[in-house]
Amino acid sequence: MNAGLLLDLYELTMAQSYFVYKAKTRATFDLFVRALPRQRSYLIACGLADVLDYIRDLRFRQDDLRYLRSKKLFSAEFLKYLERFRFRGDIWAMPEGTVFFPPEPVIRVTGSIIEAQLIESFLLSTLNLQTMIASKASRVVNASEGRGVYDFSLRRTQGTEAAIKVARSSYIAGFAGTSNVLASKLYGIPASGTMAHSFVMSFKQELASFLAYSSIFPARTILLVDTYDTGKGIANAIAVGLYLKEQGHKLLGIRLDSGDIAYWSKLARRMLDKAGLKYVKIFASGNLDEAAIQELLRKGAPVDNFGVGTKMGVSVDAPFLDMIYKISEVTDEEGNFLPTMKLSEGKITYPGRKQVFRVQDKTGRFVKDILGLEAEKLAGKRLLVKVVDKGTIVSEPSCPQEIRRSVQKGLLRFALAMRQPLSGYRYPVEVSRGLASLRSSLSRQLAKRQNG
Amino acid sequence: MNAGLLLDLYELTMAQSYFVYKAKTRATFDLFVRALPRQRSYLIACGLADVLDYIRDLRFRQDDLRYLRSKKLFSAEFLKYLERFRFRGDIWAMPEGTVFFPPEPVIRVTGSIIEAQLIESFLLSTLNLQTMIASKASRVVNASEGRGVYDFSLRRTQGTEAAIKVARSSYIAGFAGTSNVLASKLYGIPASGTMAHSFVMSFKQELASFLAYSSIFPARTILLVDTYDTGKGIANAIAVGLYLKEQGHKLLGIRLDSGDIAYWSKLARRMLDKAGLKYVKIFASGNLDEAAIQELLRKGAPVDNFGVGTKMGVSVDAPFLDMIYKISEVTDEEGNFLPTMKLSEGKITYPGRKQVFRVQDKTGRFVKDILGLEAEKLAGKRLLVKVVDKGTIVSEPSCPQEIRRSVQKGLLRFALAMRQPLSGYRYPVEVSRGLASLRSSLSRQLAKRQNG
């Protein structure tokens, strides 16, 4: 990955200014989400594996340096510095799959102010996408109440890299598989697929297309029944199911992709059962999200598996998170700590080197989080763990399968209402006394300092 | 690019079925948008350059084939076929930067039914993102009425690949530059940047941070004035501007990123002018989109340049296009043409090998498009041109700079109302007599065929 230049120009111009004025200054930055999107009760941390790859490989190659030189913005000394650049700082992070809430830091970076600033945009872009998708996908999983949900979003994600990350993030959140073959290969996610309308349309008769496909994949056939007339499509699928049965095979399923899915799935279930094809599963797809799935289940639609594409794949109701990366502490050349915060209208931040403490009751149920200072001794599990120590990765990421299991287990320890997609549940996040007092004293200091 | 497996599993399983039953069948597919998103009057075709790279490089590598073999889904003969696979079909496309409307095909693919199907997901994912962004960005450009607009979206796009494509797509649509250094390098887009709040906060005094930055970039400094108290920030910027002036330099600008931008920009303009700094430009950023920009201009905010991030970078009000890839014609083994279409509820498509004819009046103004058949002789410019002939690229894409100019010129030939972001203007797209009659006769045939 040539990621050196994956940054905003100002990160480089600020870096050159720091190089001149603050080469020895160290700083701490927090990556966090300012506020939950409407209709989210929690977020699931995702993307750290890619951040660690980035940190490991980050450097400026000769062609990057040539390009920067051509801009006539940077000094020879600074370019020399970039040539030798490696990330040497510390990173604390919530492990992937951790449930979290605003304004808890998901990642905390401490390093030279230059290196901590240079990685900003990559970290934000990566965490924003994957956390957003895992959080949306988790809602879809909750809505599906134990049925299988499959990622069908490749064609509608915001590019192909996004598609691969969506497959991984949604799998971590509990999806059962993906249609995306490359993602399946890269992450060991089960690959899933049915057939397209074009397949049916390329034959003169729907039935001929069903027979052709099932002859090649007798044990893996899911027939798409809505290309022409859904009722006749179901009847054709039943004919093929009975034919396969005679041959000693089982038709895996039928797929409904349009129309009134509740109506058609009920009819299909009745017709299939009556024909002795109780084992044939019903798949539904087409514009599904957590609300549509809940509505189908409310209507009693006997759907066994859902294919979910676009609306999850771009997190359509919240296509970005209000995720930011803010400086919280500076250690100047003389070694003085200087906690810091922003005072601009509506955008005030929390100062200091922070930690998140998750408090549980006697039964192991999570009852609240406390946003405090790393130095504080508070009850509760510390959610930020050290993953990079002086530039070296000290905590290898888990595999997606393991993260997926930890998400499923972790979510069960929160109140049930949090997992109900439309409940509007809010989990309590408190600010520790130490942090609150640091914030108010700093607020007064800063105002004075800027006035003085 | 290892793009061979960037596809949905069903494209491979259908391909194996075609390999057995329809190895000689050829097909035509249309890539098109079914309907405009709300608040869009037109779309700008974007993404073809990446499609051509993909077509050129598309193959299945040994590790891809090993992976597919491990799935135990595919025959040895079919894997052998994939090993030798190259795209050998024809592709017709609207050049990047072409203004278009639903349901006009942007890309038309004719080839063996296997190859035409295998490229589906990549084409959709690529065109969807870039067309969506170019179309959104074009609205922002229109709203800005000639002021400079800069892409600041890297940190909030759906991943870093999306960020690079957003920078290119928005530049094509008329943006003046991007903060994204890698995109700037890759596509020759002007790179732009100011400073972050963290830079200001890393100094004890705002003024000290301004002086430090401007000493390094005396001719390129844009000061961010809203970290603490915006009024004082402007005063500090003026002090630095006057100091630079004494040294024979010009402060480039100030940036407002929060609060009431209309109020602060008016105040800043007055203060700057009074101090003899008329040449200092005002940049605005923070949650901007076409509506916010129009509102600022309506209020008379003297902003010279806009930095636009998230809302453009994810096309927040329409984060996907209803873009599909549909089979429209099949030529079977005996060489019989079989135009084809889908009849499912609400999803009917147009059959046949189509062309888009753009009709102009005597003054050169575009007055309507006609969606017709390639074989028809109709007035108007044909928008789909051949870009791939039997697998060979026959029309190299233009550079982004050239496409950008063609977009600016092209848009001027449509009615003014189309470029007004909130006008709700609808450009007329007619269906030719030939296509209409093919569609209705086929509709009858298909219903009969499925019944019979």
pLDDT tens across A91-108, in order?
999 999 999 999 999 999
Q: Which of A78, A80, A85, A108 has its CA nearest to residue A18?
A: A78
CA B29 vs. chain centroid, Å, equals: 21
Which residue do the tokens 């105040």 mark? Answer: B267
Rounded to whole angstroms, the Cα distance separating B450 from B271 reads: 76
Strand order in the sheet with A90-93: A337-339, A323-331, A26-33, A105-112, A90-93, A385-389, A392-393
Query: Per DSSP, what are the bridge partners of residue B393?
Result: B388
Q: Is A382 exposed, middle or buried (0-12, 13-18, 19+ CB in 10 A)?
A: middle
Q: What is the mean pLDDT of residues A2-9?
A: 90
The answer to whether A336 contacts chain B (CB < 8 Å) is: no
Which residue do the tokens 């992070």 mark? Answer: A93
CB B216 within 8 A of CB A17: yes
DSSP-derived secondary structure for A19-88? HHH-TT-EEEEEEEESSPPTT-S-EE---HHHHHHHHHH----HHHHHHHHHTT-S-HHHHHHHHH----
Give the H or E element holding residue B16: helix B9-21
Q: How many other β-carbons are positioned within 10 Å of the β-carbon of residue B37? A: 18
Instruction: Provide the pLDDT for residue B343.
Output: 67
Rounded to whole angstroms, the Cα distance separating A30 from A93 reads: 10
Kind of pairing, strands B354-360 and B381-382? antiparallel
The answer to whether B1 contacts chain A (CB < 8 Å) is: no
CB atoms B316 and A319 under 8 Å: yes
The answer to whether B343 contacts chain A (CB < 8 Å) is: yes
CA distances from A415 to A40, A98, A359, A361, A367 (A): 14, 16, 13, 12, 8
For chain A, the average pLDDT equals: 94
Q: What residues of A are in contact with residue B29 (Cβ under 8 Å)? A: 198
Going B217 to B218 to B220 to B221, the CA torsion angle's sign is positive
Question: CB pairs below 8 Å between A and B: how many?
Answer: 334
Chain B residue with Cα closest to A161: B161
- The topology under which CATH files domain B144-313 is TIM Barrel (3.20.20)
Q: What residues of A are in contact with residue B314 (Cβ under 8 Å)? A: 158, 314, 319-320
Q: Is the pLDDT at A348 greater than 80, yes or no? A: no
CB atoms A165 and B154 under 8 Å: no
SS3 A108: strand
CA distances from B35 to A206, B38, B41, B101 (A): 27, 9, 11, 8
Rounded to whole angstroms, the Cα distance separating B369 from B361 reads: 12
Q: What residues of B are in contact with residue A159 (Cβ under 8 Å)? A: 125-126, 129, 158-159, 161-162, 165
Note the pLDDT tens digit of each residue in A252-309. Answer: 999 999 999 999 999 999 999 999 999 999 999 999 999 999 999 999 999 999 999 9
Instruction: Provide the pLDDT for residue B339.
Output: 76
Q: Where in chain B is the domain with CATH 3.20.140.10?
A: 9-133+320-451
The answer to whether B191 contacts chain A (CB < 8 Å) is: yes
Question: Which two structure tokens, joined as six digits, stand for A162?
Answer: 């996004």
Rounded to whole angstroms, the Cα distance separating B303 from B310 reads: 19
CB atoms B20 and A216 under 8 Å: yes
Measure B4 CA to nearest chain A CA, in Å: 8
Q: Where in chain A is the domain with CATH 3.20.140.10?
A: 9-133+323-451
Question: Which two structure tokens, joined as six digits, stand for A395?
Answer: 């905590």
CB atoms B179 and A10 under 8 Å: yes
Q: How many other β-carbons are positioned within 10 Å of the β-carbon of residue A238? A: 22
Query: Per DSSP, what are the bridge partners of residue B355?
Result: B372
Chain A residue with Cα closest to B326: A198
Measure A369 CA to nearest chain B CA, in Å: 27
CA–CA–CA angle B209, B210, B212 (5° rounding): 65
Rounded to whole angstroms, the Cα distance separating B37 from B321 reads: 7
Rounded to whole angstroms, the Cα distance separating B175 from B163 reads: 14
DSSP alpha helices (H): ranges in B89-159?
113-118, 120-144
What is the rounded end-to-end Cα distance, in angstroms, of chain A?
47
Q: Which of A9, A67, A261 to mutate to test the interface with B (most CBs of B within 10 A)?
A: A9
Q: Which of B20, B73, B191 sits opposite A71 (nearest CB)?
A: B191
Instruction: Provide the pLDDT for residue B39.
Output: 87
Measure B346 CA to nearest chain A CA, in Å: 8
Running along chain B, 452 residues long, what does each successive block of 10 average in pLDDT? 87 96 94 94 98 96 96 96 97 98 97 96 97 98 97 96 98 98 97 91 92 95 95 98 97 96 98 98 96 97 98 97 94 77 69 96 97 96 98 95 97 95 91 94 80 62
What dihedral do alpha carbons A134, A136, A137, A140 form, nearest 10°?
160
Q: Which of B72, B112, B181 to mutate to test the interface with A (most CBs of A within 10 A)?
A: B181
The answer to whether B436 contacts chain A (CB < 8 Å) is: no
SS3 B215: helix
CB atoms A202 and B113 under 8 Å: yes
In chain A, which among 381-420 make CB contacts under 8 A with chain B?
A: none
Q: Which of B366, B391, B396 has its CA nearest to residue B380?
A: B366
Rounded to whole angstroms, the Cα distance separating A319 from A337 reads: 37
CA A369 vs. chain centroid, Å, equals: 21
Note the pLDDT tens digit of each residue in B34-88. Answer: 999 988 999 999 999 999 999 999 999 999 999 999 999 999 999 999 999 999 9
CB atoms A6 and B154 under 8 Å: yes
The answer to whether A157 contacts chain B (CB < 8 Å) is: yes
Q: Is the pLDDT at A345 greater than 80, yes or no? A: no
Q: What residues of A are in contact with residue B117 (Cβ under 8 Å)? A: 196, 198-199
Q: Phi and psi for B129 in degrees, rounded to 5?
A: -60, -55
CB atoms A310 and B320 under 8 Å: yes
The answer to whether B310 contacts chain A (CB < 8 Å) is: yes
In chain A, which among 257-296 make CB contacts under 8 A with chain B?
A: 257-259
Q: What residues of A are in contact with residue B202 (Cβ under 8 Å)? A: 18, 22, 25, 27, 113, 327, 330, 340
Amino acid letter, A39: Q
Q: Which of B10, B257, B447 sits opposite A194 (nearest CB)?
A: B10
CB atoms B205 and A450 under 8 Å: yes
The answer to whether B160 contacts chain A (CB < 8 Å) is: yes
The answer to whether A119 contacts chain B (CB < 8 Å) is: no
Instruction: Provide the pLDDT for residue A343.
Output: 67
CB atoms A197 and B327 under 8 Å: yes
Instruction: Provide the pLDDT for residue A294.
Output: 96
Measure A430 CA to nearest chain B CA, in Å: 25
The answer to whether B168 contacts chain A (CB < 8 Å) is: no
Question: Which two structure tokens, joined as six digits, stand for B240?
Answer: 């630095």
Q: Phi and psi for A108 in degrees, rounded to 5?
A: -130, 125
Chain A residue with Cα closest to B128: A156
Measure B120 CA to nearest chain A CA, in Å: 8
Rounded to whole angstroms, the Cα distance separating A118 from B422 reads: 39
Q: What residues of A are in contact with residue B329 (Cβ under 8 Å)? A: none
Q: What residues of A are in contact with residue B17 (Cβ under 8 Å)? A: 199, 212-213, 216-217
- The topology under which CATH files domain B9-133+320-451 is nicotinate phosphoribosyltransferase (3.20.140)
pTM of the model: 0.96
Note the pLDDT tens digit of each residue in B210-260. Answer: 999 999 999 999 999 999 899 999 999 999 999 999 999 999 999 999 999
Q: Which of A8, A4, A115 has its CA nearest to residue A57?
A: A4
Question: Which two structure tokens, joined as six digits, stand for A214?
Answer: 């099932």
Q: Is the pLDDT at A335 greater than 60, yes or no? A: yes
CB atoms A13 and B213 under 8 Å: yes
Give the H or E element holding residue B70: helix B62-70
The answer to whether A129 contacts chain B (CB < 8 Å) is: yes
Q: Which CATH superfamily is domain A9-133+323-451 in?
A: nicotinate phosphoribosyltransferase (3.20.140.10)
Q: Is A416 exposed, middle or buried (0-12, 13-18, 19+ CB in 10 A)?
A: exposed
Q: Which of A62, A63, A192, A201 to mutate to test the interface with B (most CBs of B within 10 A)?
A: A201
Rounded to whole angstroms, the Cα distance separating A428 from A426 reads: 6
Residue A452 binned pLDDT confidence (cut-offs 50, 70, 90) = low
In chain A, which among 18-47 make CB contacts under 8 A with chain B?
A: 18, 20-22, 25, 27, 29
Chain B residue with Cα closest to A123: B155
Residue A39 binned pLDDT confidence (cut-offs 50, 70, 90) = confident
In chain A, which among 229-248 make CB contacts under 8 A with chain B?
A: 229-230, 232
Q: Where in chain A is the domain with CATH 3.20.20.70?
A: 138-312
Q: Which of B217, B229, B447 sits opposite A13 (nearest CB)?
A: B217
Rg (CA), chain B: 26
A290-298 and A120-144 helices, crossing angle to 10°: 0
Q: Which of A154, A198, A450 sits opposite B121 (nearest CB)?
A: A154
Select from 3.40.50.1860, 3.40.1190.20, 3.20.20.70, 3.40.50.460 the CATH code of A138-312.
3.20.20.70
Q: Which of B54, B156, B312 to mutate to test the interface with A (most CBs of A within 10 A)?
A: B156
Q: Which of A155, A202, A344 sits opposite B124 (nearest CB)?
A: A155
Give the H or E element holding residue B327: strand B323-331
Q: How many other β-carbons are positioned within 10 Å of the β-carbon of residue B382? A: 14
For chain B, the average pLDDT equals: 94
